[in-house]
């Protein structure tokens, strides 16, 4: 392996000052509620209006959205919602009777309340509204609150339309830590969120992490800067690679983009093309910084080495511009979402293909996937063991409890053995004096 282009920076997470700032903000909101939220909204967003988007204002915003934009958002929503419905159908309730007198099962139930955050800083993340809200709805969540930071006099009209289309019960014109905390604590809805979903800046990500860490609610993923990798061989078009790398570097100056290849000529050609593609961009300073500081081109000996290295990086997105895409589908193990063939770009997944674009970053793909209906579901088990079955199950559980040194556990089963089978000669060694109480 050789790095044809080396990243001169690595993404830093867990900044201690950021952690402390977020902790102070969350504590203020936890103790002072809406008054603290109002102060922060004024300070950070210059917002002093109402936080809950009322129906009349929502309809005025929706009326401002061009019909073609509405059509496109509806198309994206249909793809995402249908895919999420298929995910929901992939996991079912079941019940089994593995032994006479024993009934075991699981129930798959949605959480009661979902909070969906939609970023609104440099971009109006219309598609993020679809990704989180529609997926929660497909899971069957009965109450969904969505929030996004206001941009001027309101949240973005297209974002409002997407939230409404996807089925948000309440929309908050509120962003940042204060938006996250308002959903988590149920400040405006009186319904604290069981799970928070959606990407955001470092403060939003840290707020979600701290709220999950203290047990306030669950979260989808810890969303760091967007990461994208391309795997390419000599058959790939260098210009396609360069354009796709730059398209993802547009996310932010700290967004890593990586090329893995076993072709030196291709690597050199892409290295030459990327700066020219960047120079042609209207916002060229952002992808220029991302490419300079975090971009890498990694030259490997063969596809097996590419596979090992790419899995080590565990990128959020991986594009395959190489022969035999199904080989890569079969062999790659750690990624957020995979894009097979030249016809598939990350942008499709970001916007409208149907898979979710809220995905694991900073190597979290080693242990988890991205947002899906499963994040909004609880798998709850149940069991029923009748009296006859206790003759075996309580005896086994009692012995195992004593092996582990858990005498109280053993006595719980001993009690049932004596109660259900009083004529048996059980060797309890314990609490004989309790039997006739």
- Which amino acids are annotated catalytic? 316-317
Is there a single domain that holds both residue 61 and residue 202?
A: yes
d(CA 169, CA 426): 58
Is there a single domain that holds both residue 79 and residue 176?
A: yes
Number of Cβ within a 10 Å radius of residue 95: 11
Domain count for the chain: 3
Q: Which one-letter DSSP state was computed for residue 151?
A: B
The answer as to whether 381 is a domain residue is no
CATH number of the domain bearing residue 252: 3.40.50.1980
DSSP, residue by residue, 182-197: HHHHTTTTS---SEEE
Full-model pTM: 0.90
312, 334, 369 — which closes off a domain? 369
The answer as to whether 25 is a domain residue is no
Is there a single domain that holds both residue 73 and residue 197?
A: yes
pLDDT digits (tens, 9 = 90+) for 70-120: 999 999 999 999 999 999 999 999 999 999 999 999 999 999 999 999 998
Alpha carbon of residue 201 to chain centroid: 14
DSSP, residue by residue, 227-289: -EEEEE-TTS-HHHHHHHHHHHHTT-TT--EEEEES-HHHHHHHHHHHHHHHHTSTTTHHHHH
Domain that holds residue 180: 33-91+109-220
The answer as to whether 28 is a domain residue is no
User: Please, which residues have CB within 8 angstroms of residue 340's CB and are 6 or more apart in sequence?
Assistant: 320, 325, 326, 328, 329
Number of Cβ within a 10 Å radius of residue 345: 22
Token pair for residue 1? Answer: 């392996």
- Average pLDDT rounded to a whole number, residues 339-362: 91
Number of Cβ within a 10 Å radius of residue 12: 10
Residue 223, pLDDT > 80, answer: no
Up-side HSE of residue 15: CA atoms within 13 Å toward CB? Answer: 11
314, 339, 369 — which closes off a domain? 369
Q: With cut-offs at 50, 70 and 90, classify the pLDDT of residue 12.
A: low
The answer as to whether 375 is a domain residue is no
């Amino acid at each position: 392996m050789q790095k044809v282009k080396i990243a001169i920076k690595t993404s830093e997470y867990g900044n201690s000052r950021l952690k402390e700032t977020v902790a102070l903000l969350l504590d203020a909101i936890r103790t002072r509620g809406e008054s603290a939220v109002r102060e922060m909204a004024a300070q950070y967003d210059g917002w002093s209006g109402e936080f809950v988007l009322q129906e009349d204002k929502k309809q005025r915003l929706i009326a401002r959205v061009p019909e073609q934009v509405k059509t496109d958002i509806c198309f994206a929503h249909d793809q995402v919602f249908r895919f999420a419905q298929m995910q929901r159908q992939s996991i079912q309730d079941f019940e089994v009777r593995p032994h006479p007198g024993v009934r075991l099962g699981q129930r798959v139930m949605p959480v009661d309340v979902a909070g969906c955050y939609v970023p609104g800083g440099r971009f109006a993340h219309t598609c993020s509204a679809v990704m989180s809200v529609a997926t929660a709805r497909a899971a069957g969540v009965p109450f969904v609150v969505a929030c996004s930071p206001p941009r001027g006099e309101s949240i973005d009209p297209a974002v409002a339309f997407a939230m409404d289309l996807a089925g948000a019960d309440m929309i908050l014109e509120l962003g940042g830590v204060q938006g996250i905390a308002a959903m988590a604590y149920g400040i405006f809805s009186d319904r604290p969120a069981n799970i928070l979903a959606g990407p955001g800046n470092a403060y939003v990500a840290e707020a979600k992490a701290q709220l999950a860490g203290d047990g306030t609610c669950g979260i989808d993923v810890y969303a760091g800067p967007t990461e994208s990798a391309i795997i390419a061989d000599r058959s790939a078009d260098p210009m396609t690679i360069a354009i796709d790398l730059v398209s993802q570097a547009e996310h932010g100056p700290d967004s890593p983009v990586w090329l893995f290849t076993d072709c030196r000529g291709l690597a050199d050609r892409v290295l030459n093309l990327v700066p020219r593609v960047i120079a042609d961009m209207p916002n060229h300073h952002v992808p220029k910084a991302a490419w300079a500081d975090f971009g890498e081109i990694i030259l490997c000996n063969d596809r097996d080495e590419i596979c090992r290295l790419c899995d080590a990086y565990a990128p959020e997105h991986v594009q395959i511009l190489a022969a035999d895409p199904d080989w890569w589908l079969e062999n790659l193990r750690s990624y957020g979402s995979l894009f097979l063939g030249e016809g598939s770009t990350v942008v499709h997944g970001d916007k409208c293909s149907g898979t979710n674009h809220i995905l694991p970053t900073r190597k979290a793909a080693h242990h988890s996937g991205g947002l899906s209906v499963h994040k909004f579901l609880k798998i709850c088990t149940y069991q029923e063991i009748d009296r006859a079955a206790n003759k075996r199950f309580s005896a086994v559980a009692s012995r195992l409890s004593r092996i582990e040194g858990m005498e109280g556990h053993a006595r719980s089963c001993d009690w049932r053995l004596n109660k259900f089978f009083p004529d048996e000669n059980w060797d309890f060694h314990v609490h004989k004096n309790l039997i006739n109480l």
